[in-house]
Structure formats: C-alpha cells, structure tokens
Amino acid sequence: MLGVIVDTNVLVRAVLSGRGREDAIIDKIGNEDWRLAYGKGQLEEMVRVLGYERISKKYKWDKDAVDELISWVVKYGRQIQAAEVEMCRDKDDNYVVGLAVRAARKSLVYLVTGDKDILDLKGKVENVTIITPGEFLKVEVGARVR
C-alpha cells in the first residue's frame, strides 16, 4: 500500500464540488491500494471550514454530511502527528508538509496539493513526492512521479 497525504484544501474542494480532479482523488483513494494519512488538525480544519454559514448554505452541507466526510477519512486513513518542520514560506503549510515527513519515515509517500508554495518543494523532501491533484490521478500503484 502506498501512502498519501492530501492537503486539506484539496479534500474540502473535493467534497464541495462533487466533481473534477479533487473528487476523483477521493474515488482513487477509496478504490485503489492507497493508504491515506491525516492529522487531527486536518479534521478540525475540515469541520471548521465546512461549518461556515456561507458554505453550508451555498453547498447544502449540514452536520450529518460533515460527519460522513470525517468517517470516510477515518475509514480510509490513519491518523499521524506532524513532524516539526520549517520549510514553507507560509508557516501554516508546514503542518501538511510535516505530516508527509512523518509518514515518509517508514516508506515513500505522496503529498497531493494545489498550493504553489508547497509545490515549490518538489524534490526537496526526502521520500516525499509532491504532486498536483492532476498528477496524482495519473499515478499507478507501483509507479513514482518526480
């Protein structure tokens, strides 16, 4: 099983849009040989963002839908603690990179993000392959993108 960390904004966009690349990532993780790793902070951020009144009204999200998303993440993933890293210009990005660094201590891990600052770290984090949602959808289990 290959490890994958999905940036929180990609997960949120996936569930809000219900279509497109981000949504296809959810399907790929659920149907292929991937092991999602996530942090408690990601779950908290998803609950917070999806609980915003403007989002719940626009996308018709309610507490049950948020609970369903969290259940999916827990079902297909394992919770880990982020390693302490100072690699990103935006300090908030260090958290998701830290999750990838922690997961990569045991084996290769993919970090899926659309964040340009994190994407600038491609090739600079040992055992972590940083890719966009579109690139991730092209990865076949057993392959490695650089």
pLDDT tens-place string over residues 70-101: 998 998 899 999 999 999 999 999 999 999 99
d(CA 75, CA 79): 10
Q: 130 lies in a domain?
A: yes
pLDDT at 135 over 80: yes
The per-residue pLDDT of the chain, averaged, comes to 88
Beta strands of the chain (E only): which ranges?
2-6, 34-38, 77-79, 109-112, 128-131
CATH no. for residue 35?
A: 3.40.50.1010
Burial code (b: 16+ CB inside 10 Å, e: under 16) for 58-81 equals eeebeeeebeebbebbeebbeebe
Q: Count of domains in the chain?
A: 1
Q: How far apart are CA 129 and CA 146, in angstroms?
A: 6
In a domain, 146, yes or no: no
Cα-flanking dihedrals φ and ψ of residue 32, to 5°?
-120, -175
Residue 145 within any structural domain of the chain: no
Report the percentage of the chain scoring pLDDT > 90. Answer: 50
Q: Is residue 63 part of a domain?
A: yes
Under 8 Å between Cβ of 4 and 108 = no
Any domain includes 93: yes
Please indicate, yes or no, if residue 143 is contained in any of the structural domains.
Answer: no
Q: Is 79 a domain residue?
A: yes
For residues 23-40, average pLDDT:
84
The residue among 62 and 40 whose pLDDT is bigger is 40
- 126 located within any domain: yes
Q: Which domain holds residue 61?
A: 2-138
Task: Show the tokens assigned to 126.
Answer: 């040992």
pLDDT for residue 110: 96
At 146 the pLDDT is 47
